[in-house]
Structure 1
Amino acid sequence: MPTRIYIASAEGHTGKSSIALGVLETLTREVGRVGVFRPITRSTTEPDYVLELLLAHTNLNLAYEDCVGVSYDRVHSDPDGALTDIVSRFAAIERQCDAVVIVGSDYTDVGSPTELSYNARIAANLGAPVLLVLGGRTSNGSESRTTEDMRQIAELTSTELRLAHAGLLAVIVNRADPDALDEIIAGVSSAFDDTAASVPVWAVPEDPFLEAPTVAAVLKSTESTLVSGDPALLEREALGTVIAAMSLENVLPRLIEGAVVVVPGDRSDVIVATLLAHSSETFPSLAGIILNGGISLPPQVERLVFGLQSALPIATSPLGTFETAQRITATRGRLAADSKRKYDTARELFDNNVDGAALLRLLEVNPSSVVTPLMFQYNLLDRARESQKHIVLPEGEDDRILRAASSLLQRKVARLTILGDETAIRARGAELGLDLSEAAIISPFNEELRDRFAEEYARVRAHKGMTKLLAMDTVTDVSYFGTMMVHLGLADGMVSGATHTTAHTIRPSFEIIKTKPGVSVVSSVFLMALADRVLVYGDCAVNPDPTAEQLADIAISSSETAVQFGIDPRVAMLSYSTGTSGSGADVEKVRLATELLVERRPDLLVAGPIQYDAAADAAVAAAKMPDSPVAGRATVFIFPDLNTGNNTYKAVQRSAGAVAMGPVLQGLNKPINDLSRGALVEDIINTVAITAIQAATPVA
């Protein structure tokens, strides 16, 4: 039977969604198919943001409507009939899953005092143990609860669960006072001293950032219209509010990091001064400005404001100062599917304060034999986190790089150096609401490093006539600068290519890093994460038409890369014919490459020449190559040329929905990896993790 867990709370605004996300990811690391289910939602037709959030992070392609039970109205009109519907709809979704995270109702304004009792009835009827989430703050969020208050709530709610015959799995106190975690855990645990079995209790500290609304949400609540600034910055969190209805000299000292500043529309001096303060290094970075009162800027002031070309969002609101401030205060933040930094924050808080291994033991979860794309990605990040390697990112002017860097640092995946102008990068990071405080930022024109790198580059390329004077210009190119950092041990690896061509990224590594002993050619692979396994495809990005000797070399390098990432190498040397069924120059090249490979690495399992279907499909293999230990079970696919390899990986990526990670360069003395210029933030994160793992587990 699939694993089930029901996440419930005794009131609203406990941050249950962030706990649900942590549970979902804990299960996804171990279980092949993890689904989500919402027994009760405000509406079965309007989107539920909690469900959308969780579905965005599952490893199944579940339809939203299949994951919803009934509406609040249905529960109120016919509780017993609604429960029957919930059980029926849950059974349908569970058939597609190995585990299901069930998230209870949210105590909205249409809730009732019996809501916990009804959630307990649902959990009992679904046979799902309850993970109880208690709020460390009062339901309106105004103040922290005492330990005794939380102990009493735990006692009352556990009794309610017991009366409904729902099993209590564990308790998490969320949004807890960070300075009293141990006291809170001890106090809540004491509520279960008289029970037959101990109940694990964990406490997750409050992080104000998770409660902060976005600038977009603030503008919506204050009926504001954006008149200037970068719309992309509307997704930044507003960490505070400054009411600037006072003289200029009193406003400036009150500015705080990430604040929305509310300025009466007729205070032109304050508006201009606030914009200038935001652009200055000596004042905090602001999240936005709201011009309230429905007063239009005088034309000459408007001209000045627009002439400053600030990216800071500026909006106008028809509301008065008091109502504007009141609405901003009432605007709640929420953990949404598109809020990357909040997602990372919630994930780290959960991982650092909840014993995931103990939770899996309580649920009696057995690790899955399949490897899904999400499982593989989590494994990459976990392995990279263990090694804590230092990776250099040369393209600091690209927002995708900055967003990825913020996520990597928050999740402690690697130590990072970003190349570029420090002032500009940190200012842009602040505008985007990113935390880059742990990143080292170095200019490629840093005089000390430039001189050192030029001297070394001139030495390495002396046989090509390179001089230090010429090298002084060359090494200021970010690809050369980053490669020199890796070469001299100032970084363990480099990831580039978001804004540069592949040639521009890897040419310096050919000149400086060079190939490993015994390797004749630098090549690449893609790690292809299919629905239930991960395959290695090579070479799909570097060598247009490799010789037989180079193909054998690529196969060896690809097998070694497979081992680095926990994949047992079974090598298929691909061709348009299998075994001895075909002939021709292309087939003979693959046949010779196979012979060379077997000669050089007799320990590897190899089949070739072999067609793709015979390598991947057991039924075809039984007919075409029945005695092969590789046919039908290949994990490393070596393509005869770049045309075949590149098109095949893209075809599989698009038609089979595979996650293609790469290209991963191999054969170099130190890891340098290239990004697609269309790379997404998640692609950059994965590539940095891959590079860190390569640096931590070099091939002998």
Structure 2
Amino acid sequence: MKTLFVAPTRNGVGLSSTALGLARSLERQGVRVAFLKPIAQTHEAGTDDSVHFARTLLHTHTPDPVPLSVAEDLLSQGQIEQLMEDVITLARQVVAGTGSGAEVLVAEGLALSDRNVYAGTLNAALARNLEAEVVLVSSLTGMTAATLADELEIAAQAYRRSDGSGLAGYLLNFAPRDLDFGGLMAELRTRSRVLASGEIPLLGVVAQNAALSEVRTLDVARHLGAEVLHEGDAALRRVTGTVVTGRAVRNMAHLLTPGALVVTSGDREDVVMAASLAHLSGVPLAGLLFTSNSEPEESIERLCRAALTSSLPVLKVPTNSYLTASQLSRLGGRVPHDDLERMERTLDYIADRVDVVPLGTRLRADTSGTERRLPPSAFRYELIQKARAANKRIVLPEGDEPRTVRAAIRCAEKGIARCVLLASPERVRFIAEGQGLTLPDGLEIIDPEGIRARYVEPLVELRKSKGLTAPMAEAQLEDNVVLGTLMLALGEVDGLVSGAVHTTANTVRPALQLIKTAPGSKIVSSVFFMLMPEQVLVYGDAAINPNPNAEELADIAIQSAGSAAAFGITPRIAMLSYSTGESGAGEDVEKVKAATALVHERRPDLMVDGPLQYDAASVASVGLQKAPGSPVAGRATVFIFPDLNTGNTTYKAVQRSAGVVAVGPMLQGLRKPVNDLSRGALVDDIVYTIALTAIQATQQPG
């Protein structure tokens, strides 16, 4: 396993987020990554920040680091070799704990500070003892090209091995938005031999992004030790700016924007009422913070109660407005352990700007010739990239549903798909403004009231064999799902996503009537992409068919294998049952046996085995014991459940109990792509389903 040691060149370079972002970038390339923080960064009790986020967001088997107090004691006693032995033991635990054959270990060094003057020398020793290639991290904050060149030269000398190896590349953080990149690189190469020679390649330049520093109202309350008068959405709302009220409302009302934290004394009734009115008008303020232990008097509180007792966080502190603002300015950039959303966005932002291609020659020896296990981050990344390349037009019948509006905006901004919202444009604008969002120019909104009439005749023509009349067609087209499905049938859009407020039957029934099954498909089924900690698995069918017979089960298996392959997952199909091989008998087991035989007969190119119990299919040691010689046991990537009861229960149990993201259900077997959402779908779920649909549209020309 190759080790990359991420080391800072000076203080304040954003070391932890960069190390984790590098790990995510490697994962996106299909590289199996492990993470290690050899020595704790601080003396604080509890889990180290990097270790916590590696476990929760990268899902790595990361051991606790050597406590900083222990490391300092060993260093003070001259026992650096003992410290290195302890670190090597941790590295071996990482390798043993992964269980999946990690190819790259990303190890994060100690961040430099005034407190740990020994950190630079210790980092060099750690890199050497871990036999690591070093990735240097520097910052462009307040740096000239000359200073940066000297800094990188000194660091290169510290980490270069005697044979000249040891340097994998360098990353530059906190670049100003107006950076003259070409000029900077030209001057660096002029001043630095190590950069001019190409010995240490540039792996990325990460620009400053104020949005990544936005704290939650909850973090403000913790930092100030504030009394929480009303919690509201304190754990969800983020502070984009602070409004300290010293002026009349007419002079500061324009500052009451989404994310504003209003700091005021409770006796400023005009400010309290203005903030309350802004909140009730749909402006998602970060919160209302009363200073000097003050609160609004009773009549004002009663007048504003609808706002002060809803989702608007309301806090109180004993300090005056000036001291409170001063304390707020000292709120650090450290991400709290429970703010996973912020760190997730930070890692994605860094990973988007890291280029691991220059590391290829160092990593290729470890990754070539092996079957790829697609990790969740790589799956999501490739999903978005493929959807962008597809550039498909996807209709969303639930066009004024708030989550759907937000998802459509995100898809437009990221170029994931050309979404079409079926809804009143005025209603969509109202929904967007209420969430503090702006509708992008590229987002298409079609008022169904203005177009229904022209679809009556095409619907009658499609359903004339069923005796459909014009009045009946008009009535059916009142349902936006039917309208959107007809648009898809006529080729006006490339796919449809619905289900945020509709049932599966409401979404699937019009598709079966108007879209029909694809050539060669006898059944419509579904799969979920289960984003397990180490790889993505495919579960089918967990949403559509209650009790498929053997022939239908075989069709589901073949369809699911095709879906897996289409999204970069090597299909190894496990036909699941309560029995493995010949160990059990019964009608249900015989059905799975017959279905397995049919898959072998119809698609001899596919790796399939069954009946297999879930543990025999998924756990290597159990598979070796229960089904020795099986090409699937212990290595399955596609799990075919014998009935809907089993499939739906299992996917939800795994999703909820293990905290696994389930993308889908994605429907299979239709002539054109129609996909259903869970009514509890999050915005991200909708975005990924839209991306899935766009990619399907490239595979189903209709």
Give the TM-score band, short-chain normalised.
0.7 to 0.9
Letter of the 1:217 counterpart: D
1:151 aligned residue: 149
2:97 aligned residue: 96
1:262 aligned residue: 263
1:14 aligned residue: 13
Secondary structure of the 2:107 match is: strand
What per-residue deviation string (whole Å, max 9, x for no partner) do you get for residues 259-311 of structure 1? 22222322111221233345558xx7543332223221011111121234763
1:124 aligned residue: 128
Query: Aligned ranges for residues 301-320 of structure 1 at < 5 Å?
Result: 301-308=300-307, 311-320=311-320
| 1:674 maps to 2:679 | no
Query: How far off its partner does 1:57 sit?
Result: 2.5
1:198 aligned residue: 199
Over 3 Å counting, the alpha-carbon distance change for 1:622 and 1:362 in structure 2 is closer
What per-residue deviation string (whole Å, max 9, x for no partner) do you get for residues 119-175 of structure 1? 22322232223222222224xxxxxx4434433433444445459999433221211
Rounded to whole Å, the distance in 2 between the matches of 1:627 and 1:365 is 28
What per-residue deviation string (whole Å, max 9, x for no partner) do you get for residues 27-83 of structure 1? 223323422324232136323333322322224344xxx231221574277354463
Secondary structure of the 1:68 match is: coil
Query: Aligned ranges for residues 52-63 of structure 1 at < 5 Å?
Result: 52-62=52-62
1:664 aligned residue: 666
Over 3 Å counting, the alpha-carbon distance change for 1:659 and 1:330 in structure 2 is closer
1:427 aligned residue: 433
Rounded to whole Å, the distance in 2 between the matches of 1:619 and 1:243 is 62
- 8 A Cα contact 1:525 1:662, kept in partner: yes
What per-residue deviation string (whole Å, max 9, x for no partner) do you get for residues 169-227 of structure 1? 32212111122133333334444226765322332211111223222222333343343
Rounded to whole Å, the distance in 1 between the matches of 2:111 and 2:627 is 58
- 8 A Cα contact 2:61 2:97, kept in partner: no
What per-residue deviation string (whole Å, max 9, x for no partner) do you get for residues 327-369 of structure 1? 2222234456665664565355434533222234345563353
- 8 A Cα contact 2:504 2:676, kept in partner: yes
2:111 aligned residue: 106
Letter of the 1:693 counterpart: I
Letter of the 2:432 counterpart: R
Deviates more, 1:269-278 or 1:452-461: 452-461
Over 3 Å counting, the alpha-carbon distance change for 1:166 and 1:577 in structure 2 is closer
- 8 A Cα contact 1:571 1:604, kept in partner: no
Rounded to whole Å, the distance in 1 between the matches of 2:518 and 2:177 is 50
Count matched residues.
681
Query: How far off its partner does 1:388 sit?
Result: 3.9
| 1:219 maps to 2:183 | no
Rounded to whole Å, the distance in 2 between the matches of 1:625 and 1:89 is 34
2:356 aligned residue: 356
| 1:69 maps to 2:75 | no
| 1:4 maps to 2:8 | no
Over 3 Å counting, the alpha-carbon distance change for 1:401 and 1:223 in structure 2 is farther
1:325 aligned residue: 325
Over 3 Å counting, the alpha-carbon distance change for 1:263 and 1:541 in structure 2 is same
| 1:187 maps to 2:191 | no
Secondary structure of the 2:296 match is: coil
Q: Please, which runs of 5 or more residues in structure 1 have no aligned partner?
A: 139-144
Q: Could you state the TM-score of these two structures normalised by the residue count of structure 2?
A: 0.81
Secondary structure of the 1:331 match is: coil
1:136 aligned residue: 140
- 8 A Cα contact 2:24 2:351, kept in partner: no
Q: Could you state the TM-score of these two structures normalised by the residue count of structure 1?
A: 0.81
Query: How far off its partner does 1:536 sit?
Result: 4.6
Rounded to whole Å, the distance in 2 between the matches of 1:359 and 1:625 is 39
Query: How far off its partner does 1:588 sit?
Result: 7.1
Percent identity between the aligned chains?
37
Over 3 Å counting, the alpha-carbon distance change for 1:7 and 1:449 in structure 2 is farther
| 1:299 maps to 2:303 | no
2:697 aligned residue: 695
What per-residue deviation string (whole Å, max 9, x for no partner) do you get for residues 646-674 of structure 1? 45656777899987544321111222222
- 8 A Cα contact 1:451 1:472, kept in partner: yes
Query: How far off its partner does 1:564 sit?
Result: 2.1
Letter of the 1:307 counterpart: A
Rounded to whole Å, the distance in 1 between the matches of 2:340 and 2:626 is 48
Letter of the 1:120 counterpart: A
Rounded to whole Å, the distance in 2 between the matches of 1:318 and 1:627 is 71
- 8 A Cα contact 2:7 2:110, kept in partner: yes
Rounded to whole Å, the distance in 2 between the matches of 1:394 and 1:113 is 61
Rounded to whole Å, the distance in 1 between the matches of 2:584 and 2:255 is 79
2:565 aligned residue: 563
Deviates more, 1:91-100 or 1:340-349: 340-349
Over 3 Å counting, the alpha-carbon distance change for 1:301 and 1:229 in structure 2 is farther
Over 3 Å counting, the alpha-carbon distance change for 1:258 and 1:654 in structure 2 is closer
Rounded to whole Å, the distance in 2 between the matches of 1:551 and 1:516 is 17
1:524 aligned residue: 526
Alignment RMSD: 4.4
Query: Aligned ranges for residues 210-289 of structure 1 at < 5 Å?
Result: 210-228=212-230, 230-231=232-233, 234-277=235-278, 280=281, 286-289=285-288
Secondary structure of the 1:170 match is: strand
Q: 2:75 aligns with which of 69, 74, 78?
A: 78
- 8 A Cα contact 1:154 1:188, kept in partner: no
Rounded to whole Å, the distance in 1 between the matches of 2:207 and 2:618 is 48
- 8 A Cα contact 2:40 2:48, kept in partner: no
Deviates more, 1:469-478 or 1:238-247: 469-478
Over 3 Å counting, the alpha-carbon distance change for 1:419 and 1:222 in structure 2 is farther
